[in-house]
Amino acid sequence: MRNLIIYLLLVLGMGCRPLANQPNNTAAVPASSAINQVKDPEMDRFVNDLLAKMTLEEKIGQLNLLAVGFDVTGPVVSKNVDENIRQGKVGGVFNTFTPTAARKLQEFAVNNTRLKIPLLFGYDVIHGHRTIFPIPLGLSTSWDLTAIEKSARIAAEEASADGLNWVFSPMVDIARDARWGRIAEGSGEDPWFGAQVAKAMIKGYQGNDLTQNNTVLACLKHFALYGAAEAGRDYGTTDMSRQRMYNEYFLPYKAAVEAGVGSVMTSFNEVDGIPATGNKWLLTDVLRQQWGFNGLVVTDYTAINEMVAHGVGSEAEAGELALKAGTDMDMVGEVFIKHLGRSVKENKVTEAEINQACRRILEAKYKLGLFQDPYRYTNESRTAIIMQPEFLAAARDIARKSMVLLKNKNNALPLKQSGSIALIGPLANRQRDLIGNWSAAGDWKQAVSVEQGIRNVVGNKVKINYAQGANIADDEQMIKRLNAHGGNLDIDNRSSAAMIQEAVRVARSSDVIVAVVGESQGMSGEAASRSDISLPGQQLELLKALKKTGKPLVVVLMNGRPLALPWEEQNADAILETWFAGTQAGNAIADVLFGLYNPSGKLTTTFPQAVGQVPLFYNHKNTGRPFGGDLLDKYKSRYLDVTNEPLYPFGFGLSYTTFGYGKPQLSKTAIKAGESLEVTVAVKNTGNYDGEEVVQLYIQDLVGSVTRPVKELKNFRKISLKKGESQEVKFAITPDDLKFYNSALEYVLEPGDFKVFIGPNSRDVQEMRFSVQKN
């Protein structure tokens, strides 16, 4: 609210300026088409000319990114924005959108500054802008790269129609610790899969030509290793070997750079003992020199200031370290504009270093075509595309695809379109939670609740008997914390026993129970780690009471992380994981519940049996004492109180139909280094419904100069099979699939024996062997 007032004052202050006041020194520049092109002489000439006209203060001003507008996404907000802009001290803003608001601010910048340099307009468009798609973790469980790309394309269409030219996405941090709230924002635990999703999203956002008014600059984040926070606590320290960085955590970042991402955001954590934002090895040696990144690097929210608390020195020293490391733009913290002028005078940084950072920001603006037309993204008439029926249909489609059927005993699902349903649970008719965390400019009031979705899909054919049954959370402190940041949790003040009793009554008078339970959206996302990853509040008690009615119990889950659900797995008849599925969530859930869509999602994170097992991930190392399953075998890598098995493994997900896998065939059992081979498997739809299956291929390098994981995903194919139909699925295994970074960090293929695994998930696989011989 406070921010909205600041924003309105700003806009009103500028309101009297004529809209038609166009800049007059924005020299005509040719459209730049290739996004990550190495050389663009026209751009070089343009930026050189501009830099030559700029004072040191104006150059430092370009390095400043301010938070101003409708949304608050960090601990502090920028002040004196108009005065700073007027003085040429701002390179871009974020959290301002709508063409009217963006145009006013852009006009203000262009008309009131000496060189009329347009601003960048950024925003956290994470899983859709106005049409909200499933949270990124949910997008990933669709295993549908085309649909994921489309979601990013639609997000870019809407964001660019809404005044924005820069989105802070994709978030590609590998996450293996379910306690970490931001596991919701990424694509899960697998590096190779994360890389594929990163590429798809960048293509969706940036297209092939950033100067188009419907493409936006993407921002890869958070570089690097943010998802490996110690103890799963947000902003926590990260410490890992370079081996693990290069072979596991770096893969999606590198793939995004190769896909031409235009900007990179630094992470809050340290990497190898140095905060990422001030880490020259990371930002220059790895990102720019080894990977060839030539775009702009922006900090995360006040990340330079936070380097003081990390313990690197004063704010001025942190700023110097960040600039020298390769950071170009300072988000909100204003360290660069406060200190860099003096740092130059004191010879702590050079003007050439400032030129370099400024050049990258000007280049981003040039690539976006802002010097040609600063108002390219502020065309009111384009807002007509926002939330158009085609976008909503796409949101419904990918929401259905993102859902993972975790259990379906005796075909409890799909439900009949007749009789009565006890629709129970705190999330059964909620709207706020459905659009999830980081839902940008999404309006939760437009989200379709589960209750509404069921009515939309089956109308009056099914009688719905509703009871809330429990609150999402009961802990007052937790509720306070969530509501302080937009949780909108309204609490039913009845006793838990009374609420459960009512739900049981409703269940007894219905044919089947659909219990919609889980987390509130604020329990995942930024600064939302949990030490307990079971169902919060009294929801498990509610399920236990419902179970006693003897009615079929269908559990519909909404949550932003893997949960530990041992009781639910043992006792529910069916479990459908729906994450936070976006604007169309209720319709999509109803489609799946009633069999209008046959679920095809597969997990991209391992679900543990107990929180004590985390971090738990399928692609782990073997150890010298791998646990073989015999609990009496003492000196093995295991726990006393729980097995090493996950509750649900990576890649797992059921369908209403069943699929039979034939015996996979390898084209060769021995190849020379540098050669490829093929693996073929016949997959048959053996059940009663048409359906889709995600066929997965994993490999294991049995002997390595550095040890290799027990399994690594290297390919997959999502196929669609009619009832009774079969298909041969063929994969090529290429030399690249067999390479890894050795202890000298060289990317090598070491001849020797390999295993190939094929199957419907990472656990239930058939294995074969082949060898690679030296040339």
Rounded CA-CA distance 420/511 in Å is 5
State the Cα angle at 372 between 369 and 373, rounded to 5°: 85
Binding mask 510-539 for ligand BGC (x = CB under 6 A): ----------------x-------------
**Total residues at interface with ligand BGC (CB under 6 A):** 8
Backbone angles phi, psi at 211, to 5 degrees: -75, -15
By the rule CB under 6 A, 121 interacts with ligand BGC:
no
128 versus 709: smaller Cβ distance to ligand BGC: 128
Rounded CA-CA distance 47/354 in Å is 14
The least distance separating ligand BGC from the CB of residue 688, rounded to whole angstroms, comes to 44
151 versus 700: smaller Cβ distance to ligand BGC: 151
Q: Taking Cα atoms as reference points, which of 426, 395, 393, 693 lies closest to residue 556?
A: 426
The least distance separating ligand BGC from the CB of residue 300, rounded to whole angstroms, comes to 5
The least distance separating ligand BGC from the CB of residue 102, rounded to whole angstroms, comes to 17
Residue 311: Cβ-neighbour burial (10 angstroms; 0-12, 13-18, 19+): exposed
Site for ligand BGC in 211-270 (CB under 6 A): 221
What residues contact 160, with CB distance under 8 A and at least 6 apart?
213, 214, 215, 216, 377, 382
Rounded CA-CA distance 735/702 in Å is 15
The least distance separating ligand BGC from the CB of residue 277, rounded to whole angstroms, comes to 12
The CB density around residue 753, as the number of other CB atoms within 10 Å, is: 13
Rounded CA-CA distance 26/375 in Å is 12
Classify 496 as helix, strand or coil.
Answer: helix
Q: Which residue is nearest to ligand BGC (CB)?
A: 73
The least distance separating ligand BGC from the CB of residue 135, rounded to whole angstroms, comes to 14
By the rule CB under 6 A, 74 interacts with ligand BGC:
yes
Give whole-number Cα distances, 261 to 204, 213, 717, in Å: 11, 17, 25
Helices (runs of H) and strands (runs of E) counted in the chain = 22, 27
Alpha-helix residue ranges (DSSP H) falling in 67-144:
81-86, 99-112, 136-140
Classify 717 as helix, strand or coil.
Answer: strand
Rounded CA-CA distance 117/329 in Å is 16
Beta partners for 758? 697, 766
By the rule CB under 6 A, 735 interacts with ligand BGC:
no
Rounded CA-CA distance 206/214 in Å is 9
Token couple for 618: 């399928």
Of the candidates 124, 248, 693, 737, which one interacts with ligand BGC according to CB under 6 A?
124
134 versus 227: smaller Cβ distance to ligand BGC: 227
Of the candidates 192, 249, 301, 607, which one interacts with ligand BGC according to CB under 6 A?
301
124 versus 177: smaller Cβ distance to ligand BGC: 124
Classify 753 as helix, strand or coil.
Answer: strand
Task: Identify whether 573 is a catalytic site residue.
Answer: no
Backbone angles phi, psi at 303, to 5 degrees: -70, -25
333 versus 537: smaller Cβ distance to ligand BGC: 333
Rounded CA-CA distance 174/157 in Å is 27
The least distance separating ligand BGC from the CB of residue 437, rounded to whole angstroms, comes to 11
The CB density around residue 583, as the number of other CB atoms within 10 Å, is: 29
Q: Which of 300, 328, 330, 737 is catalytic?
A: 300
* Cis status of the peptide bond prior to 440, with omega within 30 of 0: no
74 versus 704: smaller Cβ distance to ligand BGC: 74
Q: SS3 breakdown of the chain: % helix, strand, coil, rounded to 5?
A: 35, 20, 45
Of the candidates 26, 73, 355, 437, which one interacts with ligand BGC according to CB under 6 A?
73
Of the candidates 144, 158, 190, 300, which one interacts with ligand BGC according to CB under 6 A?
300
Compute CA 279 distance to the chain's CA centroid, rounded to the nearest angstrom. Answer: 24
Binding mask 152-181 for ligand BGC (x = CB under 6 A): ----------------x-------------
Long-range contacts of 348-355 (CB under 8 A, 24+ apart): 348/316, 348/320, 349/320, 349/323, 349/324, 351/56, 351/59, 353/323, 353/324, 354/56, 354/59, 354/60, 354/63, 354/323, 355/51, 355/59
Active site residues: 300
Binding site for ligand BGC (CB under 6 A): 73-74, 124, 168, 221, 300-301, 526
